[in-house]
Structure 1
């Protein structure tokens, strides 16, 4: 009868997104300011050094994993219905992003709630969210036939982007809101109504 020898070496590679989901829940329970990479590594059952291979910093656990959404948003905006007003087209594009990147809404809510309630995270906006801003500015500029660096394109695109971010934060903090895309659409519609008035 053969004896199975224990494997020696590194532990099996974890699924980064499953690991992120688990750690986001831990961070929310303990509080962002009360967690360290060492405590997160202990929760994950690995060394801090190994955890750093997945997430270089604690903020990366919260902000990371959404990089592909920039490409999706850009594609959705490129394919937007030319007959829709700019704000409605952006709302439809964002809904398309959520449809194609169907992260577990419970995990998404935890992620966004942590960002909304943690000044350190809000101050350190991710490159992904900045990518969203640039995509929206580019879309506004294209619709107006202007340079993306023009005053109206930059200011209007940034305003729409800010409404989008605040709507996501509001959704994360209000459990009665069940659909993030619908929340964003309502906020952008409110902006459009205000502009029209």
Structure 2
């Protein structure tokens, strides 16, 4: 990466506008460019120029252009892992997963439009769909680790991995419905999806009848 940054162009700023200096600012600007011009037509230099920053600053926030639509995904995953760990063990496994995933996908009202744009890109742009496999694997591993700990089995085993894939499938289906219907509630769709799939996760946990 350092080799790529060696030829960083001079910083470009716009009169009357402060340079973007937060993760959210850069993310929002990049998303608008992607939607307006098309993801493949926008370069890192375009985003940096629109934000009034240099390439080096852009790469402090995002490893690549493909990572920008994911926002602060790693931090969010860490938060979901902590949330799962904090839930009472008396809560059935399937309910713990449903609650944690609904919370993970809760979006503040002022971010809803940006999130719609983000998910539209992630689910429709071929290069981003391919890149998503890495992110999805990290997301599924958080689920598999939690399931494995609850069941006392290996996280790489069939049951934890199957449940992780089920959870991902429910989440993607909910997002597709949300994007297709402007008046839909993402939280409600996720909740309904997990209730529809509950029979797939009626597992006997140790000490539970």
Once the two structures are superposed, the pairs formed by residues 82-101 of structure 1 within 5 Å of their partners are: 82-98=89-105
Q: 1:152 to 1:55 in 2, by over 3 A?
A: closer
CA–CA distance in 2 between the matches of 1:190 and 1:32?
34
Correspondence for 1:5: none
Please report the TM-score for the alignment, with normalisation by the length of structure 2. 0.74
Correspondence for 1:150: 157
Shift of 1:177: 1.4
Q: Are 1:43 and 2:36 an aligned pair?
A: no
CA–CA distance in 1 between the matches of 2:169 and 2:82?
20
Q: Are 1:161 and 2:168 an aligned pair?
A: yes
Correspondence for 1:20: 27
Q: Which runs of 5+ in 1 are unaligned?
A: 1-8
Shift of 1:192: 1.5
Is the CA contact 2:140–2:165 (under 8 Å) kept in the aligned structure 1? Answer: yes
Please report the TM-score for the alignment, with normalisation by the length of structure 1. 0.78
Correspondence for 1:183: 189
Shift of 1:92: 0.6
Correspondence for 2:3: none
Q: Which runs of 5+ in 2 are unaligned?
A: 1-9, 14-18, 203-209
Shift of 1:126: 6.5
CA–CA distance in 1 between the matches of 2:20 and 2:32?
20
After superposition, the CA RMSD in angstroms is 2.8
The number of residues matched between the two structures is 186
